[in-house]
Structure 1
């Protein structure tokens, strides 16, 4: 992992995903603001499809691989790595990329089958020449923590931030950027921004979103446990690299409180929102007013 700045402008094929263009529009907006502040060029993949959020493979592994091979091929055609700000998309698309690169070398018939289906639909073939990267990895490994710290105009001094990594970003693929059992990349970003990193039980566990449709009480109990652990550890906010985790922990927090009989009230931030606050972006541009749990306590603490 490098913390030195890139020697040339960073460019990515931007895969916004579904949730950031709908229920979490503030994630899309803050990602664009972040790229603007850091002079990162994002070329949006407007013809990309939903990654399937891990559900396509329940019907067919071939379906998941083909849909996401097409997504990756779109970025390959631009000669750019695919960039996502959703850890679920990172896990699914990254794992497909990893699997198909292996198939290219070890199972050429399956590799050809996937590309045959793409050809039937008039799509560019998957080459296995690109990369799939979460914006967290891009900040840490491509832009560099030292360079990020140099761009900070409003240090987040006094803000206690608790990371919630969730599942996919750590275990969806062999990313090579962090330890899936004891990650530090989010905490390193917090430190670079001037904030304090709070470590607590549950930061690498599931938020409960995947089971919320059929085991709601158990799902909310899982989420409530994580919220309580972060609060008890002294966190002022929880920061997540996944919009699905954000929806579970933020938009459902009032329901979680009712089910668990507890009071929480802890703000949940998207990673790009937190970084943008340190880079001097106007909070109004970041969609902080779209959150269910009010974020004013963070702004007050930072005197924004």
Structure 2
């Protein structure tokens, strides 16, 4: 189905990617001043230079005529730890969809929702630091692969861009510990948005040469990639279209069901497990009843809930769903013919074997 067809179900308001030459030169001058004023000891302690991903390098060595666009890559906590398969599949997929990942080496957690609520000013500094390193790397886009990271970084970025005095205060504070100043010239974008339209979408279609062979895939957006729409603004939060468009571009069948835009229950699982499981069962049960072979999600926290906690659902309800849950980069990656060493399906709790058998992988 074309984007226009999906768009009838919800109007998309896409963020602009480009920045003016004046803004970029201002950012460059600010970074130069920081480099000149910071002591070598401070820089050595605080900053590690970003590096391009190995996958991007391999793509260039193959002599591809695809022009790669440099983006700062922020993988967040889960993709660095319990969801390493998300990082490896993203890095392998990126050059095939026109992205050269400049991995940020000296960044921390975005703070999720916990620090934002408890220490809002500390949260703002955490995220400003990430944005500053992305800008210092010479990138105008910060690529994310987590819904929560996307929301936190976009929210902080909105505050910093719209309040010059606040941005100056935060930059001054961070400069004392060796962080480059932030001029507000970075746009935060999720991988989902990069490949759902424009050049990324066209490259995605070309890359997905293996195809999904009609695999029935239920999209699960979760909540923090859609809401609040004022901050995220890519698509209608009640009628999103991006995952469906990607599934169909890869040769799969997108399965529609009501709970695809609901919360996965992750934020309250420790405090209110029964309520969280009540949220979690809805997308899995509805997708199963609709005939889905697998679910796909753009968020590692949603993936953790949907994949690892199916055992909790079984214990609580007696229902053994055995529903495979794929990361977005894995779904596209398997359609593009990535290797198991890059996809790392064996790291999943619920086996992905039924999906791979249907795809004859």
TM range (shorter): over 0.9
- Report which stretch shifted further, 202-211 or 34-43: 34-43
1:96-141 CA distance string (max 9 Å, x none): 111211223xxx2x23221222122221112111111111111124
Residue ranges of structure 1 left out of the alignment (5+ in a row)? none
How far apart, CA to CA, are the structure 2 residues paired with 1:216 and 1:186?
A: 28
Describe how 1:16-165 pairs up with structure 2 within 5 A: 16-80=75-139, 81-104=141-164, 108=165, 110-141=166-197, 143-165=199-221
Residues 62/137 of structure 1: CA separation in 2 closer, same or farther (3 Å cut) = same
Residues 1-304 of structure 1 aligned to structure 2 (within 5 Å): 8-80=67-139, 81-104=141-164, 108=165, 110-141=166-197, 143-172=199-228, 174-304=231-361
Deviation at 1:146, TM superposition (A): 2.8
Please identify the structure whose Cα radius of gyration is greater. 2
- CA displacement, residues 176-196 of structure 1 (integer Å, 9 cap, x when unaligned): 321111110011000110101
Is the contact between residue 221 and residue 260 of structure 1 (CA under 8 Å) also seen in structure 2?
Answer: no
1:221, distance to aligned residue in structure 2 (A): 1.8
Taking a change above 3 Å as real, the CA distance of residues 154 and 293 of structure 1, as seen in their structure-2 partners, is same
| Contact 2:151/2:232 (8 A) holds in 1 | no
TM-score by length of 2: 0.79
Structure 2 counterpart SS, 1:171:
coil
CA distance in 2, matches of 1:240, 1:200: 14
Aligned residues: 297
RMSD of equivalent CA atoms: 1.8
- Provide Cα deviations, 1:63-113, integer angstroms capped at 9, x if missing partner: 111110110010011221111111110111111111211223xxx2x2322
5+ residue gaps in structure 2? 1-13, 16-64
- Deviation string, structure 1 residues 263-304 (Cα, Å, up to 9, x no partner): 211000000000011111123431101100000100111111
Instruction: Give the secondary-structure state (helix, strand or coil) at the position aligned to 2:113.
Output: coil
Counterpart CA distance in 2 for 1:265 and 1:70 is: 41
How far apart, CA to CA, are the structure 2 residues paired with 1:116 and 1:212?
Answer: 38
Q: Hey, what's the Cα distance between the residues in 2 that align with 1:274 and 1:258?
A: 29
